[in-house]
């Protein structure tokens, strides 16, 4: 076991919500909840201002609304989150070749392997520089933990939240862990915690005092041995760079069960195309196409078909997924669909045209292969949809974001990451001057010598607002609720300004 605190754990603070606050000046310092707002929606991330009211990740969105009725509720923008995550990961890889991403907003780094740190002082300097670089590049904050092991580094980053840094000096680990709840240790969830509490064990110190044999008796061999080692601050796991991707998959959950077989087929084709875009974005191809169907009664079926060679051809994946769908009975309704590709390779087979005609499914499984699916906004099947929080551009008023839509109208706040809080305007949903837009960078690029004037993107920030209460226009202080997608729910139409977040 190493003796220097050269394992770094980075956790971006309330990542999705922080991105939304950074890109929307009117929401800075306000309660923001990102997730799905349909009947089956859950919270993806809540800002620290929302957490004060008890809102947290994975909470049903209906419960979150009851706890924080005045929060801003936004649809996730996963492509933006991924792009910012890539910026952060590049900064980590500049420190060391050994970077182990755990999610978009979390990673371990072995500082010693990159020569970035070798003792406590150099580790502290590396951590401070990383936090400053992240703020300069992304405008966001991250919490850093430094220790001699992965377990302790992660615990340290939790202690550092939000926007802080904690270093656990070697030799102090057991004294630091002792009085803390057993729930601080990895693998101790509510059930295990309750089981230990009934045995009179509530702190890490009591866990160590119970002894290895007693923990094995209480929890079983594997879990007992592991928890005893953690209670003694032992963790021999090394940082593993870039875990090999086993599959690429996407899925959508629907607010209302789909009964129309044609609509199900259209959704499967759309998911197949999305899956291929992710596959190609990673420079991969795959041999096995997997279809996941969760039916009205919550039963989940998967069907898979293995091709003769790897492919990244969207037509091949679509047609294979369609053949797999033919083997599934969807009569009672479908609440979730997913398409994945596994058996990955970094090349494609030259001639796969014959595979579009393919053979019947070869494999049947009860659970899908693959990793956590991508979650993206899924527009409804009819008409123009304006997901709350997403970027738009007006031909005259410039860049803004959607506060809410419904009843044939869409409400937009015109502001950019570099402007002050902007003004609000409401338009017909089919206004030809209003179009979806790409997100703006959170940090404004520096102007070249000789360039002057205000950024063109911020032109909408000073738009005059119609009088509050004018027909079809909500007061500027009302941010309407929006329907969204953390589990890819369809947007629910509602009156703009009907149940939103108070903003300046």
Q: What are phi and psi of 300, to 5 degrees?
A: -115, 125
In whole angstroms, give the CA distance from residue 479 to residue 497. 6
Q: What is the mean pLDDT of residues 156-170?
A: 94
Is pLDDT above 70 for 377? Answer: no
> What's the pLDDT score for residue 346?
63
> What's the pLDDT score for residue 187?
78
H or E stretch at 103? strand 99-103
Q: How confident is the model at residue 449 (pLDDT cuts 50, 70, 90)?
A: low
94 three-class SS = helix
First to last CA, the chain: 53
> What's the pLDDT score for residue 295?
87
The verdict on whether 491 is a catalytic residue reads no
Q: What is the mean pLDDT of residues 135-152?
A: 95
Is pLDDT above 90 for 410? Answer: yes
Q: Which residue has the higher pLDDT, 187 or 328?
A: 328
Ordered strands of the 43-46 beta sheet: 43-46, 32-35, 72-74
Q: How confident is the model at residue 1 (pLDDT cuts 50, 70, 90)?
A: low
Q: Which residue has the higher pLDDT, 203 or 1?
A: 203
Is pLDDT above 70 for 27? Answer: yes
> What's the pLDDT score for residue 455?
44
Q: Which residue has the higher pLDDT, 457 or 100?
A: 100
> What's the pLDDT score for residue 484?
34
For tokens 């939103």, the residue is 500
> What's the pLDDT score for residue 242?
66
Q: How confident is the model at residue 36 (pLDDT cuts 50, 70, 90)?
A: confident
> What's the pLDDT score for residue 447?
64
In whole angstroms, give the CA distance from residue 190 to residue 187. 10
As given in the structure block, the two tokens for residue 252 are 């959508």
As given in the structure block, the two tokens for residue 485 are 């997608």
What are the tens digits of pLDDT across the range 301-349? Answer: 899 999 888 888 899 999 999 999 998 888 889 989 999 998 887 655 4
What percent of the chain stands above pLDDT 70? 80
In whole angstroms, give the CA distance from residue 145 to residue 158. 8
- CB of 364 within 8 A of CB of 381? no
**CB count in 10 Å sphere of residue 366:** 8
**Mean residue pLDDT across the chain:** 81
- Pairing between β-strand 72-74 and β-strand 32-35 as defined by DSSP bridges: parallel
In whole angstroms, give the CA distance from residue 229 to residue 473. 61
Q: What is the pTM of this model?
A: 0.70
Q: How confident is the model at residue 145 (pLDDT cuts 50, 70, 90)?
A: very high
| Least trusted range by pLDDT, from 251-260, 401-410, 468-477 | 468-477
Q: Which of 20, 49, 100, 106 is catalytic?
A: 106
Task: Work out the angle at residue 216's Cα, subtended by the Cα atoms of residues 215 and 218, and round it to the nearest 5 degrees.
Answer: 60
What are the tens digits of pLDDT across the range 211-227? Answer: 999 999 988 888 888 88
Is pLDDT above 70 for 471? Answer: no
Is pLDDT above 90 for 416? Answer: yes
> What's the pLDDT score for residue 255?
78
> What's the pLDDT score for residue 345?
77
| Least trusted range by pLDDT, from 19-33, 64-78, 236-250, 357-371 | 357-371
**CB count in 10 Å sphere of residue 237:** 11
- CB of 364 within 8 A of CB of 303? yes
Q: What is the mean pLDDT of residues 443-470?
A: 48
> Cα 365 to the chain's mean position, in Å?
27
Q: What is the mean pLDDT of residues 461-465?
A: 36
In whole angstroms, give the CA distance from residue 136 to residue 134. 5
As given in the structure block, the two tokens for residue 281 are 């974005």
Task: Work out the angle at residue 262's Cα, subtended by the Cα atoms of residues 332 and 388, and round it to the nearest 5 degrees.
Answer: 90
Is pLDDT above 50 for 5? Answer: yes
CA dihedral 310, 264, 372, 42 (to 10 degrees): 170
Q: Which residue has the higher pLDDT, 359 or 183?
A: 183
Neighbouring residues of 239: CB distance < 8 A, sequence distance ≥ 6: 7, 98, 99, 100, 108, 109, 110, 113, 150
Count CA atoms within 13 Å of residue 21 on its CB side.
24
> What's the pLDDT score for residue 450?
58
Is pLDDT above 90 for 360? Answer: no
Ordered strands of the 285-295 beta sheet: 247-258, 334-345, 285-295, 300-311, 363-365
In whole angstroms, give the CA distance from residue 4 to residue 6. 6
Q: How confident is the model at residue 379 (pLDDT cuts 50, 70, 90)?
A: very low
> What's the pLDDT score for residue 332?
87
Q: How confident is the model at residue 464 (pLDDT cuts 50, 70, 90)?
A: very low
| Least trusted range by pLDDT, from 75-84, 245-254, 343-352, 458-467 | 458-467
For every residue of 249-277, which 3-state class applies, written as one string?
A: EEEEEEEEEECCHHHHHHHHHHHHHHHHH
> What's the pLDDT score for residue 347?
58
In whole angstroms, give the CA distance from residue 32 to residue 9. 25
């Amino acid at each position: 076991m190493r003796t220097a605190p050269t394992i770094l754990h980075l956790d971006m603070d309330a990542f999705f919500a922080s991105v939304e606050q950074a890109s929307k000046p009117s929401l800075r310092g306000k309660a923001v909840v990102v997730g799905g707002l349909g009947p089956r929606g859950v919270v993806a991330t809540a800002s620290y201002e929302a957490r004060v009211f008890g809102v947290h990740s994975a909470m049903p969105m209906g419960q979150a609304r009851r706890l924080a009725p005045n929060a801003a509720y936004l649809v996730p923008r996963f492509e933006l989150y991924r792009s910012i995550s890539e910026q952060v990961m590049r900064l980590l890889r500049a420190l060391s070749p050994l970077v182990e991403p755990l999610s978009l907003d979390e990673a371990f780094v072995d500082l010693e392997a990159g020569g970035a740190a070798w003792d406590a002082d150099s580790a502290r300097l590396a951590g401070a520089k990383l936090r400053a670089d992240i703020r300069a590049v992304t405008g966001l904050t991250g919490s850093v933990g430094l220790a001699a092991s992965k377990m302790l580094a992660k615990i340290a980053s939790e202690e550092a939240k939000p926007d802080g840094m904690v270093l656990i000096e070697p030799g102090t680990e057991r004294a630091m862990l002792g009085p803390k709840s057993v729930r601080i240790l990895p693998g101790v969830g509510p059930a295990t915690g309750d089981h230990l509490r009934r045995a009179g064990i509530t702190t890490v110190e009591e866990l160590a005092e119970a002894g290895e044999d007693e923990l094995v008796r209480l929890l079983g061999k594997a879990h007992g041995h592991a928890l005893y080692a953690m209670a003694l601050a032992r963790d021999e796991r090394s940082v593993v760079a870039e875990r090999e991707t086993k599959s690429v998959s996407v899925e959508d959950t629907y607010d209302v069960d789909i009964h129309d077989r044609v609509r199900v087929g259209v959704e499967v084709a759309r998911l197949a195309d999305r899956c291929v875009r992710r596959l190609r974005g990673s420079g991969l191809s795959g041999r096995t196409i997997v279809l996941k169907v969760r039916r009205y009664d919550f039963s989940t079926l998967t069907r898979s078909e293995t091709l003769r060679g790897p492919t990244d051809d969207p037509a091949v994946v679509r047609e294979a997924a369609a053949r797999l769908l033919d083997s599934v009975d969807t009569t009672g309704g479908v609440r979730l669909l997913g398409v994945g590709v596994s058996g990955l390779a970094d090349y494609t087979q030259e001639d796969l045209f014959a595979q579009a005609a393919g053979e019947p499914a070869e494999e049947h499984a009860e659970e899908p292969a693959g990793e956590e699916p991508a979650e993206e906004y899924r527009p409804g099947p009819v008409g123009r949809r304006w997901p709350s929080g997403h970027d738009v551009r007006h031909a005259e008023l410039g860049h803004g974001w959607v506060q809410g839509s419904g009843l044939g109208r869409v409400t937009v706040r015109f502001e950019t990451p570099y402007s002050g809080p902007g003004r609000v305007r409401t338009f017909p949903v089919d206004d030809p001057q209003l179009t979806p837009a790409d997100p703006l960078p959170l940090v404004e690029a520096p102007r070249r010598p000789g360039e002057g004037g205000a950024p063109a993107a911020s032109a909408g920030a000073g738009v005059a607002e119609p009088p509050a209460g004018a027909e079809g226009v909500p007061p500027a202080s009302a941010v309407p609720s929006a329907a969204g997608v953390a589990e890819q729910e369809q947007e629910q139409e509602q009156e703009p300004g009907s149940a939103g977040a108070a903003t300046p």
